[in-house]
Structure 1
Amino acid sequence: MHSEEIEVRTGSREVVHDLTETCQRFLTEADAVDGLLHVWAPHATAGLAIIETGAGSDDDLLAALGDVLPRDDRWRHRHGSAGHGRDHVLPAFVPPYASVPVLDGRLALGTWQSICLVDTNVDNPVRRVRLSYLAG
């Protein structure tokens, strides 16, 4: 197994941050062949999604999360910025992990799929993500 923790700067706004190139670079540096890439976000307020980016789907995801988990005062978890309690519910909808097959050293993603960190927590501008390659 090869594992590495990376730092991702998400800033002070909600974001869907594409990690695909970083993941592929990690696999190249690990001399990956066939196996599995596991991606883990060790945070209570962030998740990982396999989604198309750049054509509006990333913004649509954030809008849908805003509809399902509005940033208002309904949440019992009340520290941080207004509506921050919804960020703690996010991982139940967008899990903090993703696993992707690796074939011949490349991510076996579909044509439009990307591995993305989903971060709605505007109070935490820096995230950690652990990449782990498990050889087959």
Structure 2
Amino acid sequence: MSDAFTTRILNISTGTEETVTDLTRDCEQFLRENAAGRDGLLNIFVPHATAGVAVIETGAGSDDDLLAALHTLLPADNRWQHRHGTPGHGRDHVLPAFVPPHATLPVIGGRLELGTWQSVCLVDTNVDNTNRQVRLSFLG
């Protein structure tokens, strides 16, 4: 495989509560090991039907605000047609329409180009699946 394209799978344990998990350090480490100072694109992809990737501020309450907003938009109740698993689990299958399962971000000089307060995060509202995979791919 050409060194212009490199990929890695991260295995993330999200636990039994809805969560926003910061992946920024993992992304930066991957780029330090693989980008070799090149410009390119980092793609983050979650191969799950009930999780997504968001670029948001974390640590100042925004991650909790995101989960609260998702509760308002997608309540965990019995309105959903998809009804297996934990009550309200159908909403987890709608989540990727609001928080997509991917993001593609610029890499300049081997470094992730994020704004001052931006972080790359895994958003997981599915408490039935505590183990997630995240694929990082660099093209440069």
Give the shorter-chain TM-score range.
over 0.9
Give the alignment partner of residue 120 of structure 2, picking from 106, 115, 118.
Answer: 115
Give the alignment partner of residue 100 of structure 2, picking from 83, 87, 95.
Answer: 95
Aligned to 1:15: 19
Over the matched positions of the two proteins, sequence identity in percent amounts to 64
Cα distance in 1, alignment partners of residues 15 and 109 from structure 2: 35
Deviations 1:28-82 (CA, angstroms, capped at 9, x unpaired): 1112521000000000000000000000000000000000000000000000000
Please say if residues 32 and 133 of structure 1, whose CA atoms lie closer than 8 Å, have aligned partners that are also in contact: no
Aligned to 2:50: 45
Cα distance in 1, alignment partners of residues 33 and 16 from structure 2: 31
Deviation at 1:101, TM superposition (A): 0.2
- Cα-Cα RMSD: 0.6
TM-score, scaled to structure 2:
0.95
Report how many aligned residue pairs link the two structures: 135
Cα distance in 2, alignment partners of residues 114 and 19 from structure 1: 7
User: Does 1:3 pair with 2:2?
Assistant: no
Cα distance in 2, alignment partners of residues 78 and 57 from structure 1: 30
Give the alignment partner of residue 58 of structure 1, picking from 63, 69, 73.
Answer: 63
What letter is aligned with 1:73?
N
User: Does 1:34 pair with 2:62?
Assistant: no
Cα distance in 1, alignment partners of residues 51 and 111 from structure 2: 25
Cα distance in 2, alignment partners of residues 41 and 96 from structure 1: 5
Cα distance in 2, alignment partners of residues 94 and 56 from structure 1: 18
Query: What's the secondary structure of 2:136's corresponding residue?
Result: strand
Structure 2's unaligned 5+ residue stretches are none
Structure 1's unaligned 5+ residue stretches are none
